[in-house]
Structure 1
């Protein structure tokens, strides 16, 4: 696999030289300065690519070209935004960047309730706590129908939790949930998120899924025509939040979207931490089943809890079989090589990392994207890849 690293552009506190010193050869990046829905200009893509290549690295994956909400709801100027998206795909391919990760999550992108969850070794991880999320949804956001989204025992815990929260804790929780996390697509206020949530709830799961399929049926032929590979990121977490429809959460969801727009360009980002936050997703079997359609991999692990809560563990120490997953992915790469398949090697990145002592007091560290934590994860994963790869020879 190609070892890559998420880089947030020239303003990122982690330099390209640091990334090269970590041993990664590929960069995963986006043009965050481009407004969602606008065309990515050729000149801007070429300029970013040159910066990366001047550092001795390769721009391996775009993560992400955001999908405008009008496309997801098929309202407003959705056709203009789809046409713009097509042109961005063409421009990226013309500049030699062919793999594009994107997501189709409604309203909120990847979501956590605690960005500083303290572990026994005093490092800090990202956590999604169902009780805290329900407390926000029911008692702070006060969404209509919120109580119907949770089991009675969760509501009871949420009520007790909310009663003990200070005003500062309430604001911090709200900030974590709706103010936008690194790599996300923006933020909301309490007022704007309520109306946006209802718009998506009105679509229903199958209505929302159909909007995804209609989008794919327009962009996949364009991607095929220029040699681009589209890879959708799963919902994170992979279950409903705020009563919203979720359509990229399970293996069955993946099967349906691949069937909706057949072709090499229609593929998956196999995010181990996102799919793996559900105990009914077997990552190893998914890697085997969807192998030719896996165009990008996030290697991240989690510790799951019975109520849907989870926190991000060490890369090799969670509930997901990371060694088995790596073995399945390397077997897929071998299949590509021996069968004459023209699919490239699979780019992977160590997704997220614990905040360790050296960076604890640095103000510019993005949640989940510390340098030392990801360096540790990459080193561990590299050891697994080299060992499993040697055994497969």
Structure 2
């Protein structure tokens, strides 16, 4: 696999040089300062490439070119935004970039109730607490119809939890859930979040899927022509939130997407953390099922704290948690071997150690939540060790 590292640009407290020292081969980044829906300017793409090169690496993967809410709801300037997305692909291709990750989650991107929860030995991790989220939805956001989305036990627990929260905890909960895309300046107040939810009135799961397919039907042919692999990131967490449908949470969801727009350029960002929060997802089996269309890999591990779905979970260490990371990596290496034998130019799949617990000096660095220096270095080293061992001639995956 091609070992990459997410970098949020010059504002990031973890530098490109840090990533190089950690053993990364390339950088995953995006132009977070460009408004969603706009074309990415050529000069800004070039500037970001120069910033990455100054640290000794190359910009290899885009994460993400955001998909606007207008595109998802097919309202407002959605056709213009699709045209701009297409033009951005052309410009990225001209700059030599061949992999573009994106997501189609409505309103909220990855969602956590705690950004620095206390894990083992004083490490800090991101966490999703199911009851805290229900308390936010029912008592802070006060979303119309929210009561119908929770059973009686959850409603009672959420009421007790909310009653016991300090004002500081309530404010932090609102900030954490409304934080917006990682690395962006976006974020929602309670009223802004209510307003955005209103734009999805009447959009159910089936309609959102149709809008997704419409988007893919427009952008995939452009991606194929310019030699870019586009890859959809799964929902995080992989279930409906705030009454909003989510459509990339399971093997069935990805099979539908790939079947509807059947092009080699239309593929999967395989995120073991997002998909691993849903107990029904068999991750090694999903790698086998979608292997030829996996264009980008996020390797991280979550620990589910309950058997049910939705559940509470937290970001565990990369080789801990509920995902059998050795089995997943073995399947990915087997796919890379098939690609080399078949002469595929994209035989080496870019991977990054996704998220990580804050440990040691991370605890005072103040980096982007989930993206510490040492925690990710530790994760990358562990993942690289598995890959190196499985790639040994003895095991036949090299």
Give the TM-score, by structure 1 length.
Answer: 0.97
1:333-391: CA deviation from partner (whole Å, max 9, x where unpaired): 000001223334111011011011322233x3111011011011111111011011112
- Residue segments in structure 1 that go unaligned for 5+ positions in a row: none
Q: Note the alpha carbon deviations across 1:83-124, whole angstroms, 9 max, x for none.
A: 000000000000001100000000111100011211231111
Match of 1:124 in 2: 124
- Match of 2:136? 136
What is the alpha-carbon distance in structure 1 between the residues aligned to residue 340 and residue 217 of structure 2? 29
- Residue 44 (structure 2) aligns with: 44
Is 1:186 the counterpart of 2:186? The answer is: yes
Asked if the contact 1:223/1:229 (under 8 Å) is kept, the reply is yes
- What is the Cα deviation at residue 184 of structure 1? 5.5
* Aligned residue number for residue 246 of structure 1: 246
Shift of 1:221: 0.2
Unaligned 5+ residue runs, structure 2? none
1:306 aligns with 2:307: yes
Summarize the alignment of residues 366-385 of structure 1 with structure 2, pairs less than 5 Å apart: 366-385=368-387
Task: Tell me the distance in 2 between the aligned counterparts of 1:181 and 1:168.
Answer: 23
- The CA deviation string for residues 20-77 of structure 1, in whole angstroms up to 9 with x for no partner, is 1111011000011111111011221122113223433121110000011100000000
1:283: which partner in 2? 283
Equivalents in 1 of 2:69, 2:316: separation in Å?
32
Query: Structure 1 residues 324, 184: closer, same or farther in 2, change over 3 A?
Result: farther
Separation in structure 1 between the aligned mates of residue 95 and residue 261 of structure 2, nearest angstrom? 25
Which of 384, 387, 390 is residue 389 of structure 2 equivalent to?
A: 387
In structure 1, how many angstroms separate the alpha carbons of the residues matched to 2:25 and 2:157?
46
8 Å CA contact 1:200, 1:208 repeated in 2 = no
Q: Secondary structure at the match of 2:218?
A: helix
Question: Number of paired residues?
Answer: 392
1:201 Cα offset (Å) = 4.3
> Which residue of structure 2 aligns with residue 345 of structure 1?
348
Question: Shift of residue 181 of structure 1?
Answer: 5.4
Q: Which residue of 2 aligns with 1:359?
A: 362
Cα distance, 1:58–1:247 mapped onto 2, change above 3 Å: same
Output the CA distance in 1 between the equivalents of 2:340 and 2:201. 45
**Secondary structure at 2:230's aligned position in 1?**
strand
Counterparts of 1:221 and 1:185, CA distance in 2: 31
Partner of 1:114 in structure 2? 114
Question: SS in structure 1 opposite 2:391?
Answer: helix
1:126 is paired with a residue whose SS is: strand
1:318 aligns with 2:318: no
Task: Please list, as runs of the form range in 1=range in 2, the aligned pairs for 1:1-393 lying within 5 A after superposition.
Answer: 1-180=1-180, 182-183=182-183, 186-304=186-304, 305-307=306-308, 308-362=311-365, 364-390=366-392, 391=395, 392-393=397-398
Contact 1:4 1:27 survives alignment (8 Å) = yes
Distance 1:181 1:45 in 2: 19
Give the match's secondary structure for 1:202.
Answer: coil
Secondary structure in structure 2 of the residue aligned to 1:70: helix
Query: Is the Cα contact below 8 Å between 2:276 and 2:301 reproduced in 1?
Result: yes
Give the distance between the partners of 1:219 and 1:335, measured in 2 at CA: 28
List per-residue Cα deviations over 1:213-252 (Å, max 9, x = no partner).
0000000000000000000000100001101110011110
CA distance in 2: counterparts of 1:29 and 1:215, whole angstroms: 23
Alpha-carbon RMSD across the aligned residues, in angstroms, is 1.2
The 2-side partners of 1:23 and 1:38 are apart by 34
CA distance in structure 2 between the aligned counterparts of 1:113 and 1:318, rounded to whole angstroms: 19
Would the aligned equivalents of 1:66 and 1:185 in 2 still touch at CA under 8 Å? no
Distance 1:360 1:99 in 2: 32
Q: In terms of mean alpha carbon deviation, does 129-138 or 38-47 score higher?
A: 38-47
Distance 2:50 2:363 in 1: 32
In 1, the alpha carbon distance for the partners of 2:338 and 2:135 equals 48
Matches of 1:213 and 1:127, distance apart in 2: 31
